[in-house]
Amino acid sequence: MTKRDPRTLSAGHNNTVIALSETEAGKIFTGDTRSDIGSEAEKMKFANEVNGLVVKFIRLDELHDHAEILVMERLFPMDIRAYEFEKRELWLDVLEDDLRQLHRAGFVHRDIRRPSDMPGDRFDNIFLTPTGFRLIDVGISALKSQVGERLFERFINQELQELEIFRDYALKR
C-alpha cells in the first residue's frame, strides 16, 4: 500500500492535491516540473483575470525537498442533488456564460469531462460551491495565443459538447 499524505484531498495520474489550510490547497509537482507548474500557474492566472470560474491562483511555493507546489484557493464542493431543478438550471446558465467569456478571452479548460480511460468520476473537475460552479485543474487547458486559432476552435467545440453532457448529467441527478 502506498503511503499517502494525511492532508490529501485528491490524487490524480500526475499530481496530488493536499489541504494546506482551511483556505488554501496545493497541487504538488515533484522532480523537474518547472515548465509544467509555470504553465499551469500562467493559465490559472489568465483565467482568474477574466472571471471567477476557475479556482483562484494564490502563489507558487516549495513544499519540501525537491517538491514544488501550486497554491490555490481551497474549495468545498457541495452535492448538486440537494438543490432544486430551477437552481441547477440557473447555475448551469451562469457556468455556460462564464465558460464562453473565457473562450472569447482566449482560454479553454479542456477537461470538463474526463476521457473514459482516465481514473476518477466523469466530472471531477467541476465543483458546485456556494457561489455556483467552479472549475479546477487547468493542467491541460490551452491559451489561444499558444495553440493558434484552428486548434483553439477545435478545443472549444469539444468543450461545448462536454458542457451539454454535463448539463444533462446535472439536471438528471
What per-residue confidence (pLDDT) applies to 116?
57
Band (74; pLDDT cuts 50, 70, 90)? very high
Within-domain flag for 2: no
Backbone angles phi, psi at 132, to 5 degrees: 115, -165
Same domain? For 94 and 165 the reply is: yes
Q: What is the pLDDT of residue 122?
A: 79
Could you list the residue range(s) of the whole structural domain that residue 35 is in?
8-73
pLDDT in tens, 80-100: 999 999 999 999 999 999 999
CATH of residue 136: 1.10.510.10
As for how many domains the chain has, the answer is: 2
Closest to 102 (Cα-Cα) out of 131, 76, 134:
134
Output the pTM of the full model.
0.91
Encode pLDDT of 4-19 as tens digits: 788 999 887 778 999 9
